Amino acid sequence: MTKDSPIGVFDSGVGGISVLRVMQETMPHENFIYYGDSGNAPYGEKTPDHIRRLSENVIRFLFHKEVKAVVIACNTATSAAADYLRAKYPDRIILGMEPAVKPAVLQSGKRHPAVLVMATSSTLHGERMKHLVSLHGEDGDIYPLAAPGIVRLVEAGKKDSPEMLEYLSEILSPYRKHADGSIGTHIDSLVLGCTHFPFVEEHIKEVLGYPVEVYNGAYGTAREALRRLTEAGLLSDRAAPGDVKLYSSSTAPDPTALERMLLLS
């Protein structure tokens, strides 16, 4: 590993492209290798053991590509596998994602905000999420909302489809502003707890029908990656912009899915 070695980023599919974009903005001179495990998506409906096995397969692929750090750009995989992978590979820099519950609760400008956390079922039931709720639950009302359909539709290339808007309208019904002006539960802050969700952020806000503060954990992860690489003396000192190599486990007939999402993000 050298300063010029790439940073590995992986997700269960195309969702982690949203994290990759933030990483590129934060560290524009770094090279990246992105691996989307779309052939096994979605992770959010699998058991923790299965997610750990899949994650280890991907991380070994990235190690073979001589990456200097790995970013698990998936909240579900982080919850299920990050501690396991760090314990197994203690000499490697392995970073994960965490739903941005803390800033959503403490930086919202409200004394006791109502915070909607949208994520996969696996993330919402994981130990990391339970820990976040135990730490910050007294400072705000935290409402978990499983939204696995977003992952399926984004993976299918339907992020802007009528099906997406219909799905969002259905699951957000308790929180959105209805035609008569009524709102069941008014939300102050929205946490995007899955890396697929930033691709439909505008649709979520449209369906809610009133302003909310949106929090995305990718920014905190990118800052931590910058700190760790600087601390390890591995931050690139190239003057030229970095590049990205894309890999996928998908056997689907659309080999350009990752490229398209990279352009759209």
Active-site annotation, residues: 74, 194
Name residue, tokens 């203690």. Answer: 90
d(CA 203, CA 205): 5
d(CA 165, CA 162): 5
Sign, Cα dihedral of 246, 247, 250, 253: positive
d(CA 235, CA 184): 48
d(CA 3, CA 173): 49
Structure tokens at 89: 């590979």
- DSSP labels for 53-65? HHHHHHHHHHHHT
